[in-house]
Structure 1
């Protein structure tokens, strides 16, 4: 299941916003990702056409199963990589920004090893 990095960012944003409760709207996504509303509209159209999200008549965005699968994978990578960088002494804001870049490109093997090490060290549940 290979999709573009920007699509992964949109799916992760939808997941994170939905975890806060309430409906997720395009304007919320635009604000979170610091992108324009037209960019979000275009991305939502593509994600909807590819079966990653659904939108109701009020514009509320919902992750479908395959969208949720990708969003959860990317979000897990983001949190684990952020934890790793912070454990190395990287300031939180920089760690989050760097993790966002790394989450898309790191191999499954490297990610699994990082996650295992953090669990062994008691830094992850």
Structure 2
């Protein structure tokens, strides 16, 4: 069942579990509820569903950890988020907005698309270290009539 399509809500839950486990070594429902601004009961229900899908190891009243399959999904979701956030920030979107919008977009991105976007982001970041390219890049971003760049 872990190979089935995972919902956006489950991906968000897996991603937060991943981040908290990386920080603390385990995750409790109250940590996740606070991070996602949802009720602990909703988190517990999510734990049960993720456990049934083989994505987490869950003990009632204990912590939760990711299985290998859950960890793969969480890493993919986190990587997609970071890639999209970097892309949006490069485009001049404010950090907080880029983070929020990346969260919306990350769920529909295939691993292949994420990899390709990541390569483009890395290329642009490398190019703009050159002062002439950086100046040109900033001009493009600040041009209100950017339609002529889409030839």
Q: Which residue of 1 aligns with 2:142?
A: none
Higher helix share: 2
Q: Give unpaired runs (5+ residues) of structure 1.
A: none
Q: Which residue of 1 aligns with 2:101?
A: 98
> Aligned in 2, Cα 1:23/1:67: closer, same or farther, shift over 3 Å?
same
Confirm whether residue 53 of structure 1 aligns to residue 56 of structure 2: yes
Q: Which residue of 2 aligns with 1:6?
A: 9
Say which of 95, 113, 117 aligns to 1:114.
Answer: 117
**Cα displacement string for residues 82-122 of structure 1 (whole angstroms, at most 9, x for unaligned residues):** 11111111111100000000000134443232111112234
Q: Which has the higher contact order (CA 8 A, sep 6+)?
A: 1
> Aligned in 2, Cα 1:122/1:31: closer, same or farther, shift over 3 Å?
same
Q: CA deviation at 1:58?
A: 4.9
**SS of equivalent to 2:113:** helix
TM-score normalized with structure 1 length: 0.90
Q: Which residue of 1 aligns with 2:149?
A: none
**Which range is displaced more, 65-74 or 20-29?**
20-29
**Which range is displaced more, 23-32 or 55-64?**
55-64
> Where do 1:54-73 residues align within 5 Å?
54-56=57-59, 58-73=61-76
Say which of 27, 31, 54 aligns to 2:30.
Answer: 27
Q: Give unpaired runs (5+ residues) of structure 2.
A: 127-151
Structure 1 runs (4+) greater than 6 angstroms displaced: none
> Aligned in 2, Cα 1:106/1:60: closer, same or farther, shift over 3 Å?
same
Length, aligned pairs only: 123
